[in-house]
Amino acid sequence: MDVQADIRPTFATLKAGLDVRAGGRIVASCSEAFSTGFVTLDQALAGGFPRGLLATLEGPPSSGRTALLAGVLAQATRSGLAAIVDDGTLYPPDLERAGVRLDRVLIAQARTMLEISRCADILLRSRSFAVVAMPAAPLRATVWSRLCGLAQKSGTVLIALGTQAGTELAYFASTRVRCAIERVLWSGGSGVLCELDGYEVGAHVLKHRRAAPGAVARVRIARECNGAPLRGERAVAPAPRPLQVAQAVS
Amino acid sequence: MLLCVHLPAFGLAVARRENSAISPDEPAVLADKPDRGRVIELDPNARRLGARAGQTVLQARAAAGGVHVLVHDAAHSRAVWSDMLDALDAVSPLVDDSGEGTAYLEMRGVDGGEQTWIARAKRALHGFNLPVRVACGPNKFVARARTYAPDGCIERLPVEVLQIDPRAVERLHLLGVRTLDDLAKLPHGPFVRRFGKAAAQWHDWARGIDPAPLRPRAHEVQIDAAVYGEGTAAQEEQIFFALRILADRVCSDLQRAGRAATLVRTTFECENGDVREIETGFAQATAEPRTMLDVMRAKLEGTTFDSPVTGLRLQAMRLEEWGTPATLFGQHQADPQALAVALARLHAATGAVAQRARVRPAAQLEGRFFYSPFEVAACHPEVSRSARTRGADKGPAPQLRLLAVREIDVTMRGNAPATVGARAVLDCAGPWRVDDGWFESPVMRDEFDVLLDDGMLCRIYRQGEHWYLRGAYD
C-alpha cells in the first residue's frame, strides 16, 4: 500500500488552503482580508487588513499613515462606500489624487471623543461601509469592545489612526501597523523648481492576530505621471528610524 | 368632459377683493413691490388707458392717470387659491391645478349635465366673492376658451385667448389673423415653418385640439397620532414608552401611504396647562419607527417639564415619497434604507449633516475643496466598467493633513528657510507665490514644503513678515 500516494491529495488540498503570499511564511488562509492597495503591505499583512476587525495605523505626524489609509479608501470606493470620522484635518484633494472616489466617502465631522465614538458606532451599525476610518481617540475599553463587536457583525474594516495606540486600543486591535517615513523623494532642481514627489513609508506590523507579527513593508508613496516617475529624483534621509527590511518575495 | 374654472388676473382680483375701497369699474394694476415695482397684472380698463404689464409703477401711473396700484401678496394669493381648490373637491374628485387662477375638473361619471356642473362649481366658489368664469369642454384648451365665449363657440374669439407671446400676437395681427377661426384656416405646414415649433400647438388649439392630459392634484396627507386621557407620565421611561407607541402608529400609517417624514412635531401637554412643541428633523426622510424614536430621544435629551405630561401628540410633517430604488444589490452595495437611517442618526448625534467632499480649482489650499450634504441617491455604485476603472489611472500620492494655522519662528538662509522653531530644515521646495482675492480681501503669500531634522514634512507659508504652519504631510 502506497501511503505517500494516498496522502498526496490531502497535502495538495492543505497547500491550496495556505496563503503563501506572506513571503513564504505559513499563515492562516485569510480570504476575508481587505487589500490595502499596496502589494508589499498586503504581503506583510497576509493579504491585507482583516474584514470585521479593528486595525490601527500608528505613527507621529509625517509618518505616512494617512497615505496608507488613502490606499485602503481607494480600494474600498472602487466598489462600495467608505466613511471617515474627521477631526478637521482632512485634505480631500490629495485623497482624490490617490484614487479615492470622494462621492463615495461619507465624512462625519466630530471634534470630541464622545462624538467620535458615537459617529463610529452609527457608521458601523449601518453595515453600509466597507471601511470606516476614525482617529485613535483615548476611548474606554467598553467603547472599543462595542466598536469591535459592531465591526465584526458588519464585516467592516475599522481603522484607527493615531500617534500611539493606548492600552485599550492596543488590546482590542487585531492588527497594528506602525508607520514611519524613511525616505523623502524630491524631484526637479532646487528652490522653485524643486517639488515634493513623495516618500517611502516603512510599515512595521506590530501585531497581527491571523499572521506572525514583525513583518516590515516598504511602501512607495509618490506622484507619478502616467505611470512613470518624475525625473530628477533625489532622496533625503531624515533622522534614522530603525526598521527591518521586508523579506523579498518571489 | 372637462370643466374649467378660470379667474383671469387672479392676483389682481384677490388684491381688489381685499381693498374694498376700489369699485369694480375703476382701473387697477397689480405691482410686485410697493415702490419701484413693476406691473404684473392689469385689468381691461387699465389696459385701455395705456398701462401694460412690465411697466414700472411710475410708467403705469403716467400712462394711465388715476389708475390704482395694488401690491401683490403672493402668500395670501396662494392660500386663497388653495382654499378654492379645496372647495372644488366637492364638485369633482379629480381636480387639476394648472396654476393660480385656472383649474380643470374631470366630470366624466359625475351626475348631471353641463349646466348643472357649471352651477355647482359657481355655487362652491360663491363665498370667495371673486369673478369666476366656468365652462365645459372636451379638452383643456376648449374648456378654458369657452369661459370667454358665453355661446360656447370659440371660433370668433381673438387670438389673445391662446395666451402666447404678445409679439407673436402682433405678428399674427399684421398677417390679418385676428380670430381663432382665421388661425385655424391657415395651412398647418407653412404656418409652423414661419412661426416655429410652438406654432404647431397654437394651430392645434385653434382647431380645438389639445392632447394635454388632466393631472389631478395630490391631496395633502396628514399623519399623526395622539395619546390623551390615559393618565399622567411623570417619568422619562413612561414618556418614551408612549412615544414609542405613537412612533409605531405614525410609521405604520406612513408606510401604508407610501410616504416618509423629514420632520416630526411632538406636542407635550402638561398637567399645569403648559403645551410644548418640539420639532425633530431628519437628515433623510424616514418611515422607520426605530430611527424616528432614536432621533427623537437624542433631540429630547435634557428636556425637562415642570409637571407631569398628560397628553402627547406626534405629527409627521414634510412628507416625501418613499420607496427603495429597485437595483440589483451586489455584495458591497449599501442598502439605501440603512444608509438613510445612519444619516439621520449622525445628524441627531452631531447636530450637523453628514458630508461629502468635492474638489474645485483654487489658488489657496483651503479653497480647493468644499463640503456638501451626503446624498443617498447619489452614492449608488455604478456597474459600468468605466465607472469602476475611473480611479485606475491615479495612484499613491502624498497626503497633506491640514493643521490649525499657527504662527511659527522661521529663520532664512538666502531665499530658503534654515530653521523652523528649534528644528533645522534639511531640505525644502518653494517658494510658490499665492496671489489671490485681489478683488475683495487680497492674500499674498509664499508657500514652502520643508523637511525638518526630526522627520516632520510640512507645508509652511510666509505672509507679510509672519510665518505660519499650514499642514503636515502624512
| Smallest Cα distance from A141 to chain B, Å | 21
All three cell numbers of B308: 407631569
Helix B336-350, helix A113-126: angle, nearest 10? 170
Give which of A32, A106, A121 to mutate to test B binding, by max B Cβ within 10 Å: A106
| Burial status of residue B382 (CB atoms within 10 A of its CB: 0-12, 13-18, 19 or more) | exposed
Name A172's Cβ contacts closer than 8 Å, sequence gap at least 6: A54, A141, A144, A145, A147, A148
Looking at residue B6, what is its pLDDT?
Answer: 92
Cα dihedral: B14, B15, B21, B27 (round 10): -100
- Contact (CB<8Å) A128/B352: no
User: Rounded to 5 degrees, what are φ and ψ at B143?
Assistant: -60, -45
Q: What is the CA radius of gyration of chain B?
A: 33
- Which residue type, as a one-letter code, is found at position B218? A
Q: What is the CA radius of gyration of chain A?
A: 20
Looking at residue A173, what is its pLDDT?
Answer: 93
Helix B10-18, helix B74-88: angle, nearest 10? 100
Question: Where would I find the H helices in chain A?
Answer: 3-17, 39-44, 65-79, 92-97, 113-126, 141-154, 167-172
Looking at residue A245, what is its pLDDT?
Answer: 36
- Which residue type, as a one-letter code, is found at position A173? A
DSSP strand pairing (B102-106 vs B2-6): antiparallel
ipTM: 0.78
A61/A163 Cα distance (integer angstroms): 7
Question: Where would I find the H helices in B301-429?
Answer: 336-350, 385-388
- Which residue type, as a one-letter code, is found at position A139? L
Looking at residue B350, what is its pLDDT?
Answer: 84
CB half-sphere exposure, B36, CA atoms < 13 A: 0
All three cell numbers of B474: 502624512
pLDDT at A152 over 70: yes
B430/B411 Cα distance (integer angstroms): 15
Looking at residue A250, what is its pLDDT?
Answer: 27
Q: pLDDT (tens digit, 9 = 90+) per residue, A215-248? A: 899 999 987 644 444 434 444 444 444 333 333 3
Identify which of A138, A142, A143, A174 has the alpha carbon closest to the alpha carbon of residue A156. A174
DSSP strand pairing (A175-187 vs A54-58): parallel
Structure confidence at residue A70 as a pLDDT band (50, 70, 90): very high
B82/B73 Cα distance (integer angstroms): 14
Give which of A126, A221, A241, A243 to mutate to test B binding, by max B Cβ within 10 Å: A126
Identify which of A38, A72, A40, A63 has the alpha carbon closest to the alpha carbon of residue A199. A63
Q: Which is more confidently placed, B395 or A178?
A: A178
Q: For residue A102, what is the nearest residue in chain B, using CA coordinates?
A: B357
| Smallest Cα distance from B12 to chain A, Å | 48
- Contact (CB<8Å) B357/A92: yes
Looking at residue A95, what is its pLDDT?
Answer: 93
Q: pLDDT (tens digit, 9 = 90+) per residue, A10-49? A: 655 555 444 444 444 444 444 578 888 898 998 888 888 9
CA diameter of chain B: 98
- Contact (CB<8Å) A128/B339: yes
Name A20's Cβ contacts closer than 8 Å, sequence gap at least 6: A26
All three cell numbers of B145: 376658451
Q: Which is more confidently placed, A103 or A189?
A: A103
Looking at residue A18, what is its pLDDT?
Answer: 47
Strand segments, DSSP code E, in B169-308 are 223-233, 259-270, 275-286
Looking at residue A13, what is its pLDDT?
Answer: 55
- Contact (CB<8Å) B358/A119: no
B7/B275 Cα distance (integer angstroms): 42
DSSP, res A191 = B
Q: For residue A199, what is the nearest residue in chain B, using CA coordinates?
A: B398
Of B359, B404, B451, the CB nearest to A184: B451
Looking at residue A9, what is its pLDDT?
Answer: 64
Q: pLDDT (tens digit, 9 = 90+) per residue, A60-69? A: 988 999 999 9
Name residue B406's beta-bridge partners: B469
Judge contact between B131 and B84, C-beta under 8 A: no
- Between the CA of residue B307 and those of A232, B268, B275, B304, what are the distances in Å? 77, 11, 11, 9
pLDDT mean across residues, chain A? 80
First-to-last C-alpha distance (Å) of chain B? 72
CA B300 to mean position of chain CA atoms: 29
Judge contact between B264 and B314, C-beta under 8 A: yes
b vs e for B111-129, b when ≥16 Cβ sit within 10 Å of the residue's Cβ? eeebeebbebbeebbeebe
Chain A residues whose CB is inside 8 A of the B392 CB are 99
| Burial status of residue A172 (CB atoms within 10 A of its CB: 0-12, 13-18, 19 or more) | buried
A74/B455 Cα distance (integer angstroms): 26
Chain B residues whose CB is inside 8 A of the A81 CB are 334, 339, 379, 381
pLDDT at A199 over 50: yes
Looking at residue A96, what is its pLDDT?
Answer: 92
B393/A143 Cα distance (integer angstroms): 39
Cα dihedral: B92, B98, B101, B103 (round 10): -20
Judge contact between A105 and A83, C-beta under 8 A: yes
Name B207's Cβ contacts closer than 8 Å, sequence gap at least 6: B184
B135/B133 Cα distance (integer angstroms): 7
pTM of the model: 0.58
Per-block mean pLDDT, blocks of 10 residues, chain B (474 long): 90 88 85 84 87 86 85 88 89 89 90 90 90 91 90 87 87 90 90 89 90 83 82 82 92 86 90 89 84 85 85 88 54 69 85 88 87 75 48 76 90 88 87 82 88 89 90 90
DSSP, res B179 = B
Give which of A41, A91, A157 to mutate to test B binding, by max B Cβ within 10 Å: A91
- Contact (CB<8Å) B330/A79: yes
Identify which of A148, A157, A92, A93 has the alpha carbon closest to the alpha carbon of residue A117. A148
Helix B289-300, helix B236-257: angle, nearest 10? 140
CB half-sphere exposure, B426, CA atoms < 13 A: 18
- Contact (CB<8Å) A196/B397: no
